[in-house]
Structure 1
């Protein structure tokens, strides 16, 4: 039986991947801090489970949906870099290591882009706290080099799916008539349907020449205004009040998050996936939202 190790596999994305891989007949083991099959403190056991495994997927990391105070910043950094370090050391201890290690990264590594899209080849790395987190995360991952384990850093855009992620808060805004644009509405919104994320991982698994950095995003990013309009249309809600930047800043303090999550322009294209022939099941935001919201 093929075996997948899911590190940080108890969240929205991890639960989906676990279910889909089990449906395919894979044995799935989960590494988590508080529950799961394995614990981060038991490196020897992690090494043992990695022996003869097909795939290691690392999703571990404290949510960035919080205020960027010093305590949260430190936890955001450590929850990504330390877990990646542990996994790399565990692989080094394997006699028969996993064939493929996919480590999460983020499309937020690119700069706030309103002039052109960012690709793996010519994307500009940005500045600021979230970018520094992404850079350190990837540096920790790429410090390891293995002869028998292929490595891919997956720069994921915002993942859309049912039963988790960002859909619920957006849905609440729209239902209560607050589903207009955020800020000026011109900031780009790069996204990926969770089913396409799963199929991208499967595609990487089967295309054994793929390694390095891969953008995991829809080929059709849109701006915030178009995203909110499409969301309202799919929900058959005709209007939505806009949220000016100042109001968002006040609201972010109240609910304990950062406006960057809404106002940064993420304009990312999956150039390498397209070049290698990956076909998206949900290439447009209308098709994705219709699937998620009308199921």
Structure 2
């Protein structure tokens, strides 16, 4: 049986990908800091994200390693949190490179789950070759990508997917917005002009499967849908799908206070955005199931 290893794969994206792969006949092993999880239909193996352990034996003979490891950015950007956000990403990439390098039977592909945040806050259309932005999140992404591509391995492809705003059921970034809209608080956030580069989780999982199975996929890819929308349009569509009427806008000062005091997160997560397109996937003929935001939200919320 083909095996895919998911370091840091116990979160929303990793568990969804695990389900997707298992349904297609793959064995899935998830590396997690917790050792108290069940064993079926996937296996959980403990690791700390930076040092060798019993998990090393799972890498040998695997079809692919898909790394999701990294401290969540959904926090206040204190100096301590900033350091942990960066270091957790660099540490996991480093130790996985070391293990793959020393393996007698290395994986066919080493795939890194990255971020579109590397483009910063922009309304310009961004493909894989577009200039990077500025700021803390951009710096993290640049150092992260540099670390990932700093080592090559014979027989192992390196693929980095810059992931967009993934929309799916039972969690993820959509859930808090859905709750706000249901309470008639789902109005435009800030200026509303910031872009949301969204993708349905089914399409994202198919992207992962594609780069796992197809040898010609190598390098950096924007893993997002082809139809980014502004925050204003996104919230309007979400309210429509939920059958909610008008909601008051959330002005920038209020968002900043709410982010720090209530959400305990950095305001930039809500107030900034980027307008990205999956150019390299499109050029290779990738077919999206969900091209339209309303269609995607209807499937997630009402089906």
- Same fold per superposition (TM over 0.5): yes
- Residue 77 of structure 2 is aligned with which of 51, 57, 68? 68
Check whether the contact 2:51–2:95 (CA below 8 A) recurs between aligned residues.
no
Superposition deviation, residue 205 in structure 1? 2.2
Q: Secondary structure at the match of 1:192?
A: strand
2:294, 2:238 → 1: CA distance?
A: 8
- Residue 86 of structure 2 is aligned with which of 63, 77, 80? 77
Check whether the contact 2:120–2:137 (CA below 8 A) recurs between aligned residues.
no
> For each residue in 1:110-151, what CA deviation from the matched residue of structure 2 results, as whole angstroms up to 9, or x when unmatched?
03212x210012x11011111111111111111110121000
2:267, 2:203 → 1: CA distance?
A: 27
Superposition deviation, residue 42 in structure 1? 6.1
Check whether the contact 2:21–2:209 (CA below 8 A) recurs between aligned residues.
no
> For each residue in 1:255-284, what CA deviation from the matched residue of structure 2 results, as whole angstroms up to 9, or x when unmatched?
211111111121100000000000011111
Structure 2 equivalent of residue 151 of structure 1: 158
Q: Secondary structure at the match of 2:147?
A: helix
- Residue 108 of structure 1 is aligned with which of 112, 117, 124? 117
Q: Secondary structure at the match of 1:225?
A: helix
Check whether the contact 2:121–2:272 (CA below 8 A) recurs between aligned residues.
yes
Q: Secondary structure at the match of 2:180?
A: helix
Structure 1 equivalent of residue 20 of structure 2: 20
**TM, length-normalised to structure 2:** 0.94
Structure 1 equivalent of residue 7 of structure 2: 7
2:256, 2:53 → 1: CA distance?
A: 45
Check whether the contact 1:29–1:38 (CA below 8 A) recurs between aligned residues.
no
**TM, length-normalised to structure 1:** 0.96
Aligned residues: 293
Structure 2 equivalent of residue 185 of structure 1: 192
1:42, 1:246 → 2: CA distance?
A: 43
2:101, 2:55 → 1: CA distance?
A: 11
Structure 2 equivalent of residue 277 of structure 1: 285
2:292, 2:224 → 1: CA distance?
A: 11
- Residue 140 of structure 1 is aligned with which of 109, 126, 147? 147
- Residue 96 of structure 1 is aligned with which of 94, 105, 120? 105
**Ranges in structure 1 where 5+ consecutive residues have no aligned partner:** none
> For each residue in 1:230-262, what CA deviation from the matched residue of structure 2 results, as whole angstroms up to 9, or x when unmatched?
000000111111100010011111021111111
Q: Secondary structure at the match of 1:112?
A: coil
